[in-house]
Amino acid sequence: MAQGGLQCPPIRAILKHTKRNAMHPYFTTSFADREMFAYNAAYNKSKAEIARINAHPEQRMKYCFSFMQGADTETRKKCFDKIAEYSAQLDYSEAHY
C-alpha cells in the first residue's frame, strides 16, 4: 500500500488497460509493407487464376496455336509436340454429345 492510503493497481490491470488501447496493426504497419502485402496478394491471385485456366488441356492447346503464328520452325515443332502431348490428355468420354 502506498503512503497516504492510496493503493496502486496491480500490474495485470495496467497491462490489460494498455492492451485494450493498443493501436490496430493497420496503423502500426508501414506503408511500404502494406503495399508489399497488397502486391503479393494480387500476384498470388493472378497466378492462381492462370493455373486454373491452364488446368484444362484445351486451353493450353489454344495457347500453343496462338503462339505459333509468326514463329520460326523450331518453335513450331516445340508447339506441335506440346499440342500432341495435351491432345493425349483430352477426355473424349462425352464427345458424342
**pLDDT, tens digit, 9 for 90 and up, residues 5-52:** 566 666 666 555 555 556 666 667 787 888 898 999 999 999 999 888
Handedness of CA 52, 57, 58, 59 (dihedral sign): positive
More confident residue, 56 or 47: 47
Cβ atoms < 10 Å from Cβ of 83:
18
More confident residue, 58 or 49: 49
Please state whether 4 falls in left (phi above 0), alpha (psi between -120 and 50) or beta: left
CA-wise closest residue to 60 among 73, 47, 72, 50: 50
What contacts 86, CB < 8 A, 6 or more positions away?
57, 60, 61, 64
Would you state the cell numbers that stand for residue 28, as one nine-digit string?
502500426
CA-wise closest residue to 82 among 61, 53, 52: 61
